[in-house]
Structure 1
Amino acid sequence: MQVLNVKTNCSYAADNDPMVLGRIFDEEISVALWCRENQQIVASYFDTVFKRLGMGLRGVFILQSLKAELEASLPSAKGRAEAIDDIFLLSDMLTTLFNCDSVGLRLAPLDAAMCPKLHADNIPVRLVSTYLGEGTQWLPQERLISANALQPNASNTLGTHKHKLAKSLGNVNYLESDIMQMSSFDVGLLKGKAWPEQEKSAALHRSCPVSEGAKRVLLTLDPM
């Protein structure tokens, strides 16, 4: 994903610098996105071992023993060491950022969208990154449309246009064209509903569609 031209009144922060992830602590930010380059050796590894991953890997891991746990769990193939190093790097960054020593880790091989509807997680925060396939999609808070804005009238052609295209999301609406998407290897921090005193700023997101025969490997990390 290319660096976005983020405006002042924006609910997300995106940059090539990993320090951008610290912006998740800003009250107005619901998504902090580190845009980074694809690591082909890691992507090729997960493509090679996709079927051997089975149901994937899920559990709570202490940072100090994480590499050993991954070495015991992930199939052997070229690129495994680099994949383990990257998972450890992201885990280390997350535990440092949130001052904890464990992560709730899920490494999921997917051939279909896991959560195809826009939703907010019932957790404080989650890190997401896609190693293979397309990335997670999200809807910026400022692009939500109130019901009043959809009322068409003779002098408001924009309202009429939105009324025809808008999709309902509870008591608010959105346009499909406003959905944004991470690229593979981008690292996103998404606020959840349990972020202290900021339930309304929870990031609305969904899994991307997965075409028939395609592969997707998703990593999620929760600070524990």
Structure 2
Amino acid sequence: MRGSGHPGAQCVGRRPGGTAAAPDRRLWGGRGGRCAGHPGGPCRRRCEGGRPGGRADAAMTGAGIVEDASPAVLGRVSDPAVGLALWRRDRFPGAALDPWLDALPADRLPRGRFLARLGDVDTALGPLLDGAGAPMALAADIVDLSRRFLDVAGGEWVDLRLEVVQGDACWKFHRDHVRLRLITTYRGPGTQVVAPIDAARALAEQRRYQGPLHEMPRHAVALFKGCGETGDDTSGAGIVHRSPPIAGTGQARLVLCLNLPSAASPEAWVPT
């Protein structure tokens, strides 16, 4: 079945995700965060995806992880050895949005989906954001991320979804049935990612999985590969991840998801 948290993704069930180890909010790298290749403590070598030399487990899975504070890192996803590029955004330009987003009741958070040309994204966002009284900085950030996504993915159309998640949508570990996807979380806990070296175990064990689990920081931007629209979820291609199980916690997430046009996309937005 398809979960509402990741349309186009292979999701099974909506029951709580249970017993995985507490997520690490710093992703891979040699700067003191927990490295998937060295789960017992900080990585003291320059690693990407837990392997020395910056190839990010490419020899094992062809789907490594790279991260950086510069947006230029997003282009690294074009490397066949890279499955996910994370832009940390340590200095989020729209930080003033956070108090507004955190104070807004969940039922007033902006949401919606459309398929539009890049040049129309700002206008198409209007109906989604105006009703919530969203600051202009939110629209500016979404337009900027849409541009960055298409710069890497190619094309001039983007399938844009701004979603409010309050339950356990897509809690199960899976690979998305897309070629490329961009995700950022404006409010609430971020998407949880499993390093390629642990992917097969997470997929097999699901609720019993106790291995390393890495939670994207708020506002961090992930551009990652899936297994293709008709891909095999067990093929080893694509990044294994899940939405954090939050049912019963009172939390609400606001998630931006960008895709290329597909058979699952809505009809194209037309200016009026």
Q: Structure 1 length normalisation: TM-score?
A: 0.79
Rg larger in structure:
1
The residue aligned with 1:81 is: 136
1:213 is the counterpart of 2:213: no
Q: Aligned-pair distance for 1:170?
A: 4.1
Alignment check: 8 A CA contact 1:29 1:201 kept: no
Aligned ranges for residues 136-215 of structure 1 at < 5 Å? 136-144=191-199, 169-170=203-204, 175-194=209-228, 200-210=236-246, 212-215=249-252
Alignment check: 8 A CA contact 2:73 2:85 kept: yes
- Consecutive aligned runs of 4 or more in structure 1 exceeding 6 Å deviation: 195-198
Which one has the bigger helix percentage? 1
Q: Aligned-pair distance for 1:75?
A: 3.4
> What is the root-mean-square deviation in Å for CA atoms of aligned residues?
2.9
Alignment check: 8 A CA contact 1:195 1:202 kept: no
The residue aligned with 2:45 is: none
Aligned ranges for residues 1-224 of structure 1 at < 5 Å? 2=26, 4-5=29-30, 6=48, 7=51, 8-10=54-56, 11-37=64-90, 38=92, 39-47=94-102, 48=104, 50-53=106-109, 56-76=111-131, 79-144=134-199, 169-170=203-204, 175-194=209-228, 200-210=236-246, 212-224=249-261
Q: Structure 2 length normalisation: TM-score?
A: 0.66
Bigger RCO (CA 8 Å, 6+ sep):
1
Alignment check: 8 A CA contact 1:35 1:186 kept: yes
Aligned residues: 202
Alignment check: 8 A CA contact 1:13 1:20 kept: yes
> Among the aligned pairs, what percent are the same residue?
26
Where do 5+ consecutive residues of structure 2 fail to align? 1-24, 31-47, 57-63, 262-272
